[in-house]
Each structure stands twice: as C-alpha cells, then as structure tokens.
Structure 1
C-alpha cells in the first residue's frame, strides 16, 4: 500500500460487528460505514456494484486506494488513508477508507433545509467546483462522451429504463414529451457540443455532486464521494457535472439557491455557453435520478410484497414524479426557437422584438434595419465576410411620389441580401443553442419559407408573429418617425408602398399593437412560452 495512503493504526473488525455506545454503523448500497469518535471507517461490500467485482480482498483494497486518490483532490484533509481491518486473530481480513468525521449539521443539504440564506456557502461551493473542473483531465476517450451521438445514447438509455414505470409511477405523456424535447434539442445542437469538446469542457469530473456529499466548513467546503466505481460516470461536460448539484437543490425545494449556484459557477468558470445548455443538462440529471428513484420504488414494493401505500413506497413514487417534473420544466426552458416578428412600418414590431429579446437570457435579436445599414456601408453581400459578394448596384428607379426614403428598404436586391445575412447569422446562433428573434417586415413569402427551412434544419421551434395596428395609429407613429429622420428609413412613404404589395401571411399569429405596450408584450410572450 502506498505510504501516503496507509494510516497509522489498523482497526478491529468488531467495530462493525459489535459496535459500542460511541460507535454507529451505517449501511449504504455499496459500503458499510463505522462512525467512531472523530473518524469514519468505510468498508466496501463484497459485491459487484458496477464494473468492479469487489468479492476479493485485493479488489476491495484497490477500490479503497482509488477512492482516497480521487477524493483527495477535493478534500485532502478528510480522506486520511486506508487502514487494514483485523480479525479476531489479528489477521488482515479487509481494508477500510479512513475519513475525518464531518459535522452532520454542516452538510449543504442540512443547511439548505434549515437555514434562511446560504449564499456565502453556495458561492464558496461554486468557486471550489469551478476550480476543480479546471484541474480535471480529459482525453480522446473522455472527449467522445460529450459528442451529440454519445449524449443522445445516454438519453435513450435513460428513457428505455423508465419504460416499465410509464403510466404506473410517472405519467406516460410526460415521459414521452421529455424524450421528444431532449432529442430535438440534440438534433440541432451538434455544432455546440463539438465546440464544447474543442474547448476542452468534456472532462473527468466528480460524477455525484449532491448536496449531502458537500460539507460547508468555516475554512471552505469539503466535497466528498467522487465516483470511483465507474469512470464513465465521471466523464462528460463539466456543465453536466455541476448540474447534479443544481438539480439536487431544486429537489430539496430551493430553486432560488439552485439558480444562484449556477450563476456563480458560470462567473467563476468564465464559461461562454447558452443558458439552454445548462437547462438541458439539469434536465438530464433530474431524469436519470427519476429513473434511479423508480428502481428504488420497485425494490421497496418487492420487499413489502404489496402495492404502494403510505410509507417509503409512496414517498419514492412521489419523488420520482417531482424529478420528472424538474426535467420537463428545464427542457421547456432549453427549447431553441426561431421567432419572426414582422409587420408593416409603424405597427410596433421593432419595439416588440426588443422587449421579447430582453425578457430572457439566451435570446438573440437580429434587426433587418441594422443589417441593411451594414450592407449599404460595406458594399458587399455579407458584412461578415467582406469581399465575398458583388457590390450593391445603383439605386433603382422608383415612383416619384414615394420619395427618397423608399429606395433602400424596398430595393429587391438589397432586401434579398439582407434576409440572406439575417438567416446566416440566425443559423449560427440556433446551432449554438440560442433562441433567435428576427425583426423584419417579412412581407415576402419566399423569405418566410427560407426561415421555416432553417428552423427545420436546426431542429428549432418556429414561431411567426405579425404585428398589426389601425391605419391611424401607424400614421401617427410614422409621422413622428419622419420628423425625427429615423435612420431605418421605414417612413410613411415606405409604409404605403409596402402595404400595396405585401403578401398574405396566414401562418402568423396576429399581435394587435393598438393596446398598451405591456399588453402587447404579454400576448407575444405567451405565444413564445
């Protein structure tokens, strides 16, 4: 045994078999713990908990060493080493991990349940986890666990594991919708996951960051019980690792603490990722925990030999349903959407589009007026790739009574280029998991059809909102805009021209903008949500 892992003293086996008044024995699924004074002695059960066969003493010794080695990276002063367990005759019969005993009242799970505010503790935990993730290693094999195909396989395995419980423990429609939302997210986010892998965010993490495994001491948190039985359970996106704790805080009834922890982790890790990816991984952790809880439910019923009633079986069933609800809610928040906000000038579409984009993180606003101005200034088809396209032609002839303000917004070629750039930028954002709101007139059905194709290709939800108002309100708004020399150029002359040739838009939801702005926003937000 390595010298830095061996403790100073061996321990007798009768600590477990004949505990005294000052000793308490606690049994888990894979270990038997002896709480004795200021120490905890943890013996592995001689079973096959996963990939490891622990029936031999040599295998249990190796597992004890691995646990100490893995967990010293997060709690070096807690995992003291490995002790020999001695039988009645003084012979070595087993081995035990030796830990410094942590105060039960300082568990994060206990603090969350019994304290009003745990901000300082959560901030310290977020900082510690972010620093730990920066030190975690990666490899080609580990990196592949974050690929879209691998993550989809994990979801399908979890969905298959819940099939026996659909309609019995968890509503079948809820499980089906969870599966649909999860796989749809993955279908269009391959570039995002590939980007995460290239950035080195797929690492050998902790694997079981639960609140009960974290002790918040005065000099900082101690994070215990890093998974050692199966390295595959530790491998994945670091967001999926911290998502275990976020999910657990929600399960404990503290969603506000969960949100704060995620925000602080994001700040300390200085990661750039869309909020949708956080929600996606939180949902996955909640769903897999629901599956484990369903298996526990079945085991309780089998042991009791009866149907669920008041007691542990009913509690397990209710917990599984709560976890499934957490997964469903986060997948709803993870949805990637392409939202067209259109209408004639003066209908309030730009005001609405800005309000919708500001209403939630992860929403990107693209404005046709801004892109058109870039094109005019750059003289190329796509300002993102200068020189890639032909120069913009001279102004076309227009009816004299429409005025100069009409020319650029309605020039067919400049308009086509504007929509090409808008949809190109939207594609990149959608593939990265961002919801995109495009503020444009959308008067031409061909442009709307191109947007619909983009939504299908990126597995994004597609929503069309058409703003309408009375001619009097539109005229008043445009008169103010005319007098202010609005740079968008969408003045009353443009409004008259566009209204004469704008194509019908029957697939759009009509948003009436003659009512107060707050009512307009809430009506549109309900459509999106």
Structure 2
C-alpha cells in the first residue's frame, strides 16, 4: 500500500534513522488490528485505533494497557522474546522512539525470530515433521498444566460464554453474507451446526468440572509458532479474556484446523493423537470438530475484516478475501464430518 495512507508515526518508524540500534532496512505488515514493523534485530508492534466489538483499542490508555498485557501474557511461553513496552513520543513536529516528550503511542518491542523457522514458512516449504509437532505438544502440555484453571464463577468456557462468542462471530460477519467469500447457504449451515452442538450443555459442563477451561493462548496457529530449538509460541490473545480463557480443546483444535487448512491431514491427526496421549485428555476428541469449525470461521472473519480495512492495498484485499473463502469452506466441511 502507499505509505501516505499510513499514520504519520508509522511513516516515521519506516525510516531506518528512527532507531537507536543498527537498522539497514525496515519492513512492515499490518493486520486488522495492528502494525508490525521489522527493524534490524527487533520487531515493534503497534495497535491500531479500532473498536471492533471483540477488541477495543480506541483510546491511548487502552492501547497502553493492552501492550502491558501482551508482554505479561506472552512471557508465559516466550520469556526472552517479549522485551517490554515502548513509547513513541512527540516534541513539536518530531517523533521520537523511547524519547522524553509527550507519549502519543505505546508499542511492544520483541526480539526478532528467524523467519526461516516460522512454522508457516516450514509448512510452505513442505518441511514440517512429526518431530516438530511432538515438540510443540511437549511445550503445550507443560504450559496448560502451569496456567490457572479459570474459576467456574467467571463463566468463561461454559456453554453460555462459548455461545456468546460464536454468535458474536455470526453477527460480525452478517453484513458479508452473500459476498464472494461467504455464501448464504454456508452461513446458515455453519450457524445451524453450531447451534445444534451448543445444546449439549452437559458436555460443556463436564469440561468445566474437569478443569479443562484454562487461561490459554487463544490464537494457536502456525503463523504464531517458531520452530527454534526451544519452541516459541507467541502472540496470544491479550485484548479479550473471554477469547483466551477457554477450553484447552479450543486451542488444540485451532492448530489442528490450521494443519487441515494446509492439507496436512495425517500431521493434524498425529498432533491431536499425540496431545491426547501425553495429556490424558480423552474428552478433548468429543469437542474437536465443533471447535475446529469455530476456529476456521474466526479465521475467515479475520480475512473479511482485513479486506474491509480502507488502509489495506488491493493485492492484500484480494489475498485476504481468497483466504477467507477457503476458511469458510473448511468450516463448512466440519459441519459434515
């Protein structure tokens, strides 16, 4: 996209001279809620001024708070990657990163991980192995054992909370129904499948009683995993507790769905079987297709929201819509499993 469409502070940060550490070139990508700037050995993440219902970064105070939360929560799985919160200040007409003027934005500073070891890159190169997935499972089993069980009184993870999140997804995508990515027939079929499964109150209640609703990751897919010697699982959901504090099955289903999306069905099955074997969570399998469908639909929604962003270029819009279409097709398949 043309730089002139970006906020002034982002345009400033795209200049190598804006940094105190060595930077030869600067690159960036954007999502529906953030800008990621790659500068030398570091990555800086800045939250967009948006309120999409499920995420509210509409004020500087909120953006600062959620930057602090992002660092705190992601240090659970990546203690050395998340370096801290940084400020962007302004003196007159000049921006200064970590300066002493008026703070106009807060961001998260991270160590840059090797791009060639990002799981989505490894998948694209057809190099993902069962050994990689076994190491991910080992990391996840320890993580879920270490994070707190969500109190029943919070309501997170019970059938009513799950229903709210799923129905919110349908509401947030209703204006896109009938477009290129999501047909009315798909929307109705997926919605009916979800509503039917949500009638299994006892199944959801059992997962809560068994302590399977935990303070999880919430966004567990291949773009958020780096296959370094010590597996790095980053970019958990910080902006919405109800989306992060969920059944472990919803996290596991997310990565399994992602493997399905890349036509790695054998590896997807291996990942699920390995996780169940190592964790002893046999009940997870009953929830799997439901949460896979939910996760595929969420990824489709993200594609729609990205394509609808006025700051996104035409090529990015086209790619986002195409990916959304594929995710909605996958969500529909789970309704027929």
Query: Normalised by the shorter chain, which TM-score bucket?
Result: 0.7 to 0.9
Q: Does 1:177 align with 2:189?
A: yes
Show CA shifts across 1:102-139 (max 9, x none): 00010011111103442111111122122212222233
Partner of 1:91: 100
- Distance in 1 (CA, whole Å) between partners of 2:284 and 2:106 is 46
TM norm structure 2:
0.81
* 1:13–1:85 contact (8 Å) kept in structure 2: no
| Residue number in structure 1 paired with 2:71 | 68
Q: Who is 2:6 aligned against?
A: none
Rounded to whole Å, the distance in 2 between the matches of 1:209 and 1:101 is: 19
* Mean CA deviation greater in 70-79 or 24-33: 24-33
The residue that corresponds to 1:135 in the other structure is 146
C-alpha distance after superposition, 1:337-391 (max 9, x if no partner)? xxxxxxxxxxxxxxxxxxxxxxxxxxxxxxxxxxxxxxxxxxxxxxxxxxxxxxx
Shift of 1:36: 2.9
Residue in structure 2 matched with residue 19 of structure 1 by the alignment: 16
Q: Among 164, 171, 179, which residue is 1:153 paired with?
A: 164
1:320 aligns with 2:320: no
Q: 2-side partners of 1:301 and 1:96: how far apart?
A: 20
Task: Could you tell me which runs of 5 or more consecutive residues in structure 2 were left unpaired when the two chains were aligned.
Answer: 1-8, 18-22
Q: Equivalents in 2 of 1:317, 1:14: separation in Å?
A: 26
Q: Distance in 1 between matches of 2:301 and 2:47?
A: 25
1:281 aligned partner = 291
Across the aligned residues of Structure 1 and Structure 2, the Cα RMSD in angstroms comes to 3.0
3-state DSSP of counterpart to 2:232: strand
Corresponding residue number in structure 1 for 2:4? none
- 2:177 is aligned with 1:166: yes
Residues 1:254 and 1:142: Cα distance change in structure 2 (over 3 Å): farther
What CA distance in whole angstroms lies between the structure 1 residues aligned with 2:318 and 2:46?
31
TM-score by structure 1 length?
0.53
State the 1:331 CA deviation: 2.6
| Alpha-carbon distance between aligned partners in 1 of 2:309 and 2:11, rounded to the nearest angstrom | 30
Deviation string 1:281-339 (CA, Å, 9 cap, x unpaired) is 111111122223233344479976xxxxxx55554343223212222222322xxxxxx
Which residue is equivalent to 1:509? Answer: none
Q: 1:104-503 alignment to 2 at 5 Å?
A: 104-140=115-151, 144-169=155-180, 170-187=182-199, 189-218=200-229, 220-273=230-283, 275-299=285-309, 312-333=316-337
Structure 1 range deviating more: 13-22 or 73-82: 13-22
Structure 1 unaligned runs (5+)?
1-11, 305-310, 334-529
How many residue pairs get aligned? The number is 313
Q: Deviations over 1:228-247 (max 9, x none)?
A: 12212202111112222222
Determine the C-alpha separation between the residues in 1 that align with 2:304 and 2:86: 36
State the structure with bigger RCO (CA 8 A, min sep 6), 1 or 2.
2
